[in-house]
Structure 1
Amino acid sequence: MSYITTKNSYITVNGNQIAYREVGKGKSDLPLVMLVHLAATLDNWDPKLLDLISEKHHVIVLDLPGVGASEGKVADTIPGMAVQTIEIIRALGYDKINLLGLSMGGMIAQEIIRANNQLVHRLILAGTAPRGGMEVDKVTGKTFKFMIKAAIKKVDPKRYIFYNHDEEGGREAEKVLNRMGERSKAFTDKEMNVPGFLTQLKAIKRWGKSEKDDLQYITQPTLIVNGDHDMQVPTVNSYHMNDKITDSSVIIYPNAGHGSIFQYAEVFSQELINFLGE
């Protein structure tokens, strides 16, 4: 089944209905749990990327509490979001997973491992940064700046947050956004609410202003991925994480920004499948 026609499933966690989707069930021994970026719901995953990954792996994507169709409140800290994620994973019946985090999702992924190192077998950090990383505390200002630019141009804010601002970046953004737009209303998630979005921004800023992290607690094999021109979370953070995480490797895609894993869906999906199969 294609991700574009996969409906929400629900599980009750701490009295709240939590929305999730899964594809490729039975394709791998461990599920790959994927955590999405700021202000995103289940509809903001590139369906092409998820279809490619799910050819070989069982994939689970989540709406954390207060996000999309999930009940509850958005946690006001990144570690709090990590605790919520662990509770959902446990409720789904898993005590071992592979874990991918994109942008804010990558920040949450790091805190998941800090809280429970034994839960994650292999880790993928995409378009993200360590706690206290370069310009993480500036994400709020950048987000609003790009949103204003998008409003003036009458385009989706992801056009400028995730892709280069030149003509080539525009073409790449259009490809991905068109793929996401193929989902019919019968299969859509609820949109992100404004209070939850603002709470996420505050959590990221607080995490960015916190003490710099040495990442020595991450002992899992780790794949770090980004574009060579990430304006939202500067690419240099990917190199810093690679230096600090002992068992890690880094892939930097050319002429790409914050959304490199969507822009390079075919190449990245193969790199990811190879990494998980090692």
Structure 2
Amino acid sequence: MTVYSTVGTQVVRAGNGVDYAYRSVGSDTGTPPLVLLQHFRGNLDNWDPALVDALAAGRRVVAFDNTGVGASSGRTSNTVAAMADGAIEFIDALGLDRVDLLGFSLGSFVAQEIALHRPDLVNRIVLAASAPQGAWGMHGWHPDVIAAVGGRESSPQGYLRVFFTGTPEGLAAGQQAAGRIFSERTEGWEAPTGWQTRQAQYDAVTQWGVPDHAKLERLRGIRQPVFVTAGDSDPMILPRYSHLLAGLLPDARIKIYPDAAHGFLFQHHKEFAADVGDFLDT
């Protein structure tokens, strides 16, 4: 099987005129492909290859850069709804009629919108480090988080501080994950996401978090089974929002991973991939 750290980047032209960069691993097994939706400032290179390979053991997995992100053309949208429309354009361009979604952080917001915009397209949904639109307390991130990952230049120290806990186990897991993410690929790297993408994505995150109790009612429209997941010590999107999300969705299960922060799915990549596989195959 082709592995994520060596698979080449492909490009597909969508109906909106955007050239979307993507990577595909795994095989068609008769189940819907799993489309990955990336976190704030992340591109194709920021997925943990060990996680993607574990997910691809039983299905096709597709990661992509949304409009204006990484190697995809265009300008990054500043609303989650527009990002969802861009993702739908990409999925349509690949000729996929039905997919599973795994949205991580900002990508989890996009996954919710895709399910609301195009419900017939979506089979099952995994939401990692997520929150519902309009939840109180989500209007922007804590200054310490922005200082760590929101500056013009990102740093390994800031990444580790937000994505992993400060315990010995968390620090070790962070170093191991960073080694996989930033060292295993030897060629075909993308340029880091630019400042326009950072600004637009943070605008989208901030708008998503404007307190609005009525927005929570929109979740009733997501009828697909949903697996809500989080780290118990996430400083970026607190795990209480996962509990809120799971309680509002009509058909949801939840799991909180121990001694883990925003990057819990990389820290616990084997367990998380097994949990996702069990959920998608149910």
TM-score by length of 2: 0.93
The corresponding residue for 1:218 is 222
SS at match of 1:187: coil
Distance 1:148 1:111, change over 3 A: closer
Are residues 1:175 and 2:176 paired? yes
Aligned-partner residue type, residue 163 of structure 2: F
Q: CA deviation at 1:19?
A: 0.2
TM-score by length of 1: 0.94
The corresponding residue for 1:268 is 272
Alpha-carbon distance in structure 2 between the residues aligned to 1:49 and 1:81: 24
Aligned-partner residue type, residue 5 of structure 2: I
SS at match of 1:238: helix
Q: Is the 8 A contact 2:36 2:63 kept in 1?
A: yes
Aligned-partner residue type, residue 9 of structure 2: N
Distance 1:76 1:148, change over 3 A: closer
Q: How big is each residue's C-alpha offset from its partner over 1:86-119, in whole Å with a ceiling of 9 and x where there is no partner? A: 1110111012100110000000011111111111
RMSD across aligned positions (CA): 1.9
Q: Is the 8 A contact 1:27 1:54 kept in 2?
A: no
The corresponding residue for 1:192 is 193
Q: CA deviation at 1:277?
A: 0.7
Q: How big is each residue's C-alpha offset from its partner over 1:94-147, in whole Å with a ceiling of 9 and x where there is no partner? A: 121001100000000111111111111001000010002243222273432224
SS at match of 1:216: helix
Alpha-carbon distance in structure 2 between the residues aligned to 1:249 and 1:271: 11
Q: CA deviation at 1:28?
A: 4.0
Q: Is the 8 A contact 1:7 1:188 kept in 2?
A: no
The corresponding residue for 1:81 is 83
Aligned-partner residue type, residue 220 of structure 1: Q
The corresponding residue for 1:55 is 57
Distance 1:74 1:184, change over 3 A: same
Q: CA deviation at 1:250?
A: 0.3
Counterparts of 1:125-136 in structure 2 under 5 Å?
125-136=127-138
Q: Is the 8 A contact 1:228 1:254 kept in 2?
A: yes
Unaligned runs of 5+ in 1: none
Q: How big is each residue's C-alpha offset from its partner over 1:140-191, in whole Å with a ceiling of 9 and x where there is no partner? A: 7343222489x99x63422012111343322111110001122345221221
The corresponding residue for 1:243 is 247
Are residues 1:106 and 2:127 paired? no
Q: Is the 8 A contact 1:113 1:218 kept in 2?
A: yes
The corresponding residue for 2:260 is 256
Distance 1:171 1:74, change over 3 A: same
The corresponding residue for 1:201 is 202
Q: Is the 8 A contact 1:28 1:56 kept in 2?
A: no
Aligned-partner residue type, residue 183 of structure 1: E
Bigger CA drift: 117-126 or 20-29?
20-29
Q: Is the 8 A contact 1:142 1:232 kept in 2?
A: no
The corresponding residue for 1:2 is 3
SS at match of 1:3: coil
- Of 29, 34, 37, 1:35 maps to 37
SS at match of 2:70: coil
- Aligned residues: percent identity? 31
Q: Is the 8 A contact 2:136 2:211 kept in 1?
A: no
Alpha-carbon distance in structure 1 between the residues aligned to 2:134 and 2:143: 16
Q: CA deviation at 1:229?
A: 1.1
